[in-house]
Amino acid sequence: MAVSLQVADEAVLQPASTELLDRMERLPMSGWHFKARAIIGTATFFDGFDSLAIGMVLPVIAAAWKMTPGEVGWLISGGFLGQMIGAIGFGQLAERLGRIPAIMITTAVFALGGIASAFAWGFVSMQVIRVVQGLGLGAEVPIAATYINEIAPAERRGRFVLLYEVLFAIGLLLAGVIGRWIIPTWGWQSLFLVGSVPPLIAVLLIPTLPESPRWLIGKGRLDAASKAVDQIEAAITAEGRKLPPPVQTARPAVFRAGRWSELFSPQYRTRTLVMWAIWLTIGFISWPLTIWMPTIYARVFQVPLETALNFGMYNNFIIISGAIACALLIDYTGRRAWFCGALFIASLALIILGIMGANTVASVFLMTSITLFCITSLNLAIYLYTPEVFPTRLRAVACGISLAWARVGAMTAPPVIGWAMAGDQLSRVFLGLGVIAFCTGLITAVFAVETRRRVLEEISP
């Protein structure tokens, strides 16, 4: 098989890559796919667990360390700062070294950072540790999602990827459930240890998976890509499955050096700006709201700590419900319809809460639950949609930069919410969040492209 050299400034169509892409697209869902999803998903599961752990321990450490609402906000933002840096830096690393090495490195970073969090002794030490841990937390999920997208056939990609992403939501759920029980009994440090030791085991399993054939093809390494596809096919046939003949569905891959400037080329400029708007909105609403809610219940409404933790746990059940609904339905509704619907419904709930006034626990819980059901489903669906709208040569770095915008929102919102809590302006914050969600819904309705059941190379040549 002839190998075409990658040219720095000139796109090269490689017809031989079509055979490999067609072989990938015809693969039936198999035990190998579920094994790959389970191994990568183990790291993603505990990424979700560790992401919410800080929200569960905040009511405890804020009281123990006598932190102000502003310090609580900055502690949350510090983690997101690390995630922003990690998403961009490790996204570039995934384009250079490959998906598998990058997933291993990012998983190890966030696991070791989580263990270190259990030994923090005050606001400053926890702030530093959260920034370092964020380097791995922010990068692992988009790089892993890139890999899962690249091994999934177009016809089943939506459900396959999102059922994998549900593991992240389950990690959030269990962080709330486990935190509710072990924090009062074993102390807040125990939650970090539970969520950080198991990912180190996943680091040992990740190298058993082949590198993404699409990434290898994009680098012009067709022989290595062919061996990776051979390995996958052998694993499937070993299960007793028969492989259907390749069907010509994929266009030839384009060999071109991935450059950040291409994100603003005429072909991808609109997609880039739409993705950034969606990511920024999700980051500004989803994570800060999720992490802040137990503290809001405890400080604003003066509910007991155990009750605040219970509300946080209930929210996590709502989050997992939204994630499962999205995973099962998005291949039927399409990407654009789901995103628009979720953004508009969330905006309506937040605007109603802002106008009525966030005066009771019941009204805040009801409306934020509707919001979290919708917005956190997008927090998972975006990891399906973003890799679809960018080409292989830019996929990981584009996801990383997009995620960085979410972290900009996530860093900005917590201090704003902290300021609102201190000044009794919480209703205005909810109203502002609703307006933001509505505007992003309009942008999505007008400019977003539909990608349902289309081959990646067809969507993004």
Q: How far apart are CA 205 and CA 209, in angstroms?
A: 8
Q: Which of 262, 202, 276 lies closest to 35 in space, CA to CA?
A: 202
Task: Give domain status of residue 383, yes or no.
Answer: yes
Q: How far apart are CA 388 and CA 365, in angstroms?
A: 34
Burial class, 273, CB count within 10 angstroms (exposed 0-12 / middle 13-18 / buried 19+) = middle
Query: What was the pLDDT predicted at 10?
Result: 44
What are residue 320's phi and psi, to 5 degrees? Answer: -65, -35
DSSP 157-183: HHHHHHHHHHHHHHHHHHHHHHHHHHH
Q: How far apart are CA 398 and CA 394, in angstroms?
A: 6
Task: Give domain status of residue 105, yes or no.
Answer: yes
Q: Are 323 and 163 in contact (CB under 8 A)?
A: no
Q: How far apart are CA 278 and CA 402, in angstroms?
A: 9
**Domain around 192:** 13-242+260-459
Task: Give domain status of residue 255, yes or no.
Answer: no
Distances 115 to 88, 192, 200, 297 between C-alpha atoms, Å:
24, 6, 11, 28
Query: What was the pLDDT predicted at 15?
Result: 62
Q: Provide the CB-side half-sphere exposure for 327 (13 A, CA).
A: 19
Tokens matching residue 87: 């998403």
Which residues are 253's β-sheet partners? 14
CATH number at residue 27: 1.20.1250.20
Query: What was the pLDDT predicted at 260?
Result: 75
| CB-based contacts of 124, cutoff 8 Å, min separation 6 | none
Rounded to the nearest angstrom, the gap between the alpha carbon of residue 362 and the centroid of all alpha carbons in its chain is 29
Distances 341 to 155, 213, 276, 285, 374 between C-alpha atoms, Å:
23, 35, 18, 16, 8
Domain count, the chain: 1
CA-CA-CA-CA torsion sign (392, 397, 400, 404): negative
Q: How far apart are CA 384 and CA 452, in angstroms?
A: 10
> For each successive 10 residues of the chain (461 residues), what is the average pLDDT?
38 65 86 89 78 79 83 77 83 87 92 90 89 85 89 86 79 73 84 85 91 89 91 91 76 62 89 95 80 73 75 78 88 93 95 84 86 88 92 87 84 71 71 92 96 86 77
Q: Are 336 and 445 in contact (CB under 8 A)?
A: yes
Q: Which of 177, 257, 187 lies closest to 220 in space, CA to CA?
A: 257
Tokens matching residue 381: 């669906």
| CB-based contacts of 270, cutoff 8 Å, min separation 6 | 447
Q: How far apart are CA 292 and CA 301, in angstroms?
A: 13
Query: What was the pLDDT predicted at 373?
Result: 92
Q: How far apart are CA 82 and CA 436, in angstroms?
A: 24
CA-CA-CA-CA torsion sign (46, 47, 52, 54): positive
Task: Give domain status of residue 435, yes or no.
Answer: yes
Tokens 């031989």 identify what position?
16
Query: What was the pLDDT predicted at 1?
Result: 35
Task: Give domain status of residue 144, yes or no.
Answer: yes
Distances 338 to 154, 342, 453 between C-alpha atoms, Å:
18, 6, 15
Which residues are 255's β-sheet partners? 12
Task: Give domain status of residue 6, yes or no.
Answer: no
Q: How far apart are CA 24 and CA 247, in angstroms?
A: 10
Query: What was the pLDDT predicted at 318?
Result: 84
Q: Are 231 and 208 in contact (CB under 8 A)?
A: no
Task: Give domain status of residue 247, yes or no.
Answer: no
Task: Give domain status of residue 421, yes or no.
Answer: yes
Query: What was the pLDDT predicted at 16?
Result: 67
DSSP 427-441: HHHHHHHHHHHHHHH
Query: What was the pLDDT predicted at 4?
Result: 37
Q: Are 202 and 78 in contact (CB under 8 A)?
A: no
Tokens 């997208």 identify what position?
149
Distances 72 to 80, 122, 127, 195 between C-alpha atoms, Å:
13, 12, 10, 21
